[in-house]
Amino acid sequence: MPVRRMTFIAMVAAVYTVLTLAVAPLSYGMIQFRISEMMTVLPFLTPLAVPGLFLGALTANLFSPVGFYDILFGSLASLIAAWLTSRMPVRWLAPLPPVLVNAVIIGLLLGTVSGLRVAIPAAMLYVGAGQLVVCYGLGLPFLWVAERFRHRFP
């Protein structure tokens, strides 16, 4: 793989991790407001964002209070959502896979192994609501800006 592509993947991972940790109290828990999730629209523009988002989520989840389960299932959720985003046919659908996938997988995770006393449907609703705000409220504007620089992506 060319260095330029590896660098792009590493940069996506690093920015995702830094943004997650910068607002760490909001990035973990029942109502997650991960500003870094706005980047989940990038696979709509380039498939190189898929491994970058996966590695970024994996690294950020190393600091999760849920521990091993979030490292495994949270990172897997990011990988699935990123891959599905890369398959979206139109821009306004690009934020939808991260909202739905994270609502289901992270909601199940929080409702079962997190130690929080919450019903699984409520956990899914809380996670989905946070994802909806970030992915559509921040992700779509981010996508519109990123599209202007698409020609610079490897």
Query: How many domains does the chain divide into?
Result: 1
Alpha carbon distance 122, 67 (integer Å) = 21
Distance (Å) of CA 108 to CA 8, 24, 61, 105, 137: 32, 21, 16, 5, 24
Q: The dihedral of CA 115, 120, 121, 124: what is its sign? A: positive
* pLDDT for res 122: 94
pLDDT for the residue numbered 109: 92
Using only C-alpha atoms, what is the Rg of the chain?
15
Structure pTM? 0.94
Q: Which parts of the chain have pLDDT scores under 50?
A: none
Cβ-in-10-Å burial (0-12, 13-18, 19+) of 153 comes to: middle
10 Å CB burial of residue 114 (0-12, 13-18, 19+) is: buried
Structural domain range at position 146 = 3-24+32-152
**Direct distance between the N- and C-terminal alpha carbons of the chain, in angstroms, rounded to an integer:** 11
pLDDT of residue 5: 96
Can you give the pLDDT at residue 154? 86
Position 114 scores a pLDDT of 78
135: closest CA among 66, 85, 87? 85
Identify the pLDDT of residue 1. Answer: 84
